[in-house]
Amino acid sequence: MTSPAYPVTNEKQNQSIWKFIFSELKPRGKWLTPFNVISIPIILAGLVLMVIRFTHGLGAVSNVTQEVPWGLWKGFNVVTGVAFAGGAYVLTFIVYILKVEKYHSIIRVTVLNGFLAYLFYAGALVLDLGKPWNIFNPLIGNSFGASSVLFLVAWHFVLYIFAQLIEFSPAIAEWLGTRRAHKILSGLTLGAVIFGITLSTLHQSGLGALFLMAKEKIHPLWYSEFIPLLFLISSVFAGLSMVILEGSISQKVFSNQLTDKNRQERKNIVHSLSKICAFGMFAYFFMHILVFVHGQHYDLLTTPMGYWYLLEMIGFVLVPMILYFYSYRNTNILLTKIAAVITILGIILNRLNVSIIAFRWDAATHYVPSWMEIVVSISIILIQIWIFRWVINRMPVLGNSPSWAKHN
């Protein structure tokens, strides 16, 4: 109904759409911000190291060994990063399936975050692959390793990127001002959401299931047949903690895009997210206790790895869980943010423990990432933040949609 009403403007927009995109590509605002000053040199260094990686082989940059073949790029950028992208599927579930409208205002930014995160984890993966030109082998051709957990994860990864793109696409349509596309794409949202949640549950747990065959290689305090379930549960509060942290940063950085009403709304959202996190962490902690009791490794608690395990479980699960409960009871937003930061550190610790630190903890030579690996890891995240900022400054993500796009 909308399109016949504005046929002329539509055509005009179509003609100038490339010009419009080109003009939007140009940077805006001040150049010499502290973030730019710090991030630009790191990104440049990272890009140089990526070139070295492809011209001299993985070993020239990375410290990975024959015993610990997955280093920081997989353990941190892929395995840890995916957990933090979990906020997208949890929030789409709450908003589109349970219809809790109060979270609607943060859904776009969360989906955008998830989408970019996945895109860049795929990038980190390409860096880490020995033969990246064969990356499409599991997707096309006759090379389906269907008995592989990684095959499953790879497919879900690709499909979920598309699902998230569809979920986010109405914002792109609003930015470009294409009304008909907006209508079509908005109609696809529910399907993409249902598909996306299903894919997420499977590959969040699938990332844990990757380590099921490394039964003797992972320290018994971290290995159990329940790794997939633990990864899935923890992705819920990992993702939401990231939403809380990212929200509090965006609120400061992009404050010009928010109205006072938005701000108040966001406080309420953070407040109720802290409750979801608290209960999620309680389930996770309880599950860990069950697994621990079931595993009967009491004697291992007094070894150095045991202390390390207790630090993770108490310092980075139990403590933030209590903080979340407490901050919810007292409506203390600052405390919620502190809990979110500790939770995020705890998830990093947990994923690195499973994939790197407790993996072949008994090997003669331990894997310690080189400075070059760390620089590349950080620059991948920084590039992601740059693109995030570019999108936020141009598309209706944090702020309100143009009036013509208001549905209902």
Interface with another protein by CB under 8 A: which residues? 54-60, 62, 64, 66-67, 69-70, 93, 96-99, 125, 128-132, 134-135, 137-138, 143-152, 154, 190, 193-195, 197-198, 201-202, 205-206, 209-217, 225, 228, 359
- CB distance 282 to 321 below 8 Å: yes
Q: How many CB atoms lie within 10 A of CB 375?
A: 20
Closest to another protein by CB, 54 vs 404, is 54
Closest to another protein by CB, 73 vs 325, is 73
Query: C-beta of 255: minimal distance to another protein in Å?
Result: 33
- CB distance 238 to 83 below 8 Å: yes
Query: C-beta of 149: minimal distance to another protein in Å?
Result: 5
Query: C-beta of 163: minimal distance to another protein in Å?
Result: 12
Query: C-beta of 71: minimal distance to another protein in Å?
Result: 10
Closest to another protein by CB, 154 vs 340, is 154
Q: How many CB atoms lie within 10 A of CB 342?
A: 19
Query: C-beta of 19: minimal distance to another protein in Å?
Result: 40
- CB distance 305 to 361 below 8 Å: yes
Closest to another protein by CB, 149 vs 313, is 149
Tokens of residue 205, six digits: 């747990």
CB-side neighbour CA atoms (13 Å) of 97? 15
Tokens of residue 173, six digits: 């349509």
Closest to another protein by CB, 89 vs 325, is 89
Q: Which residue has the tokens 């930014």?
A: 109
Query: C-beta of 194: minimal distance to another protein in Å?
Result: 5
Tokens of residue 243, six digits: 């939403």
Q: How many CB atoms lie within 10 A of CB 337?
A: 20
Burial (CB < 10 A; 0-12, 13-18, 19+), residue 254, is middle
Closest to another protein by CB, 11 vs 225, is 225
Residue type, position 144, single letter: F
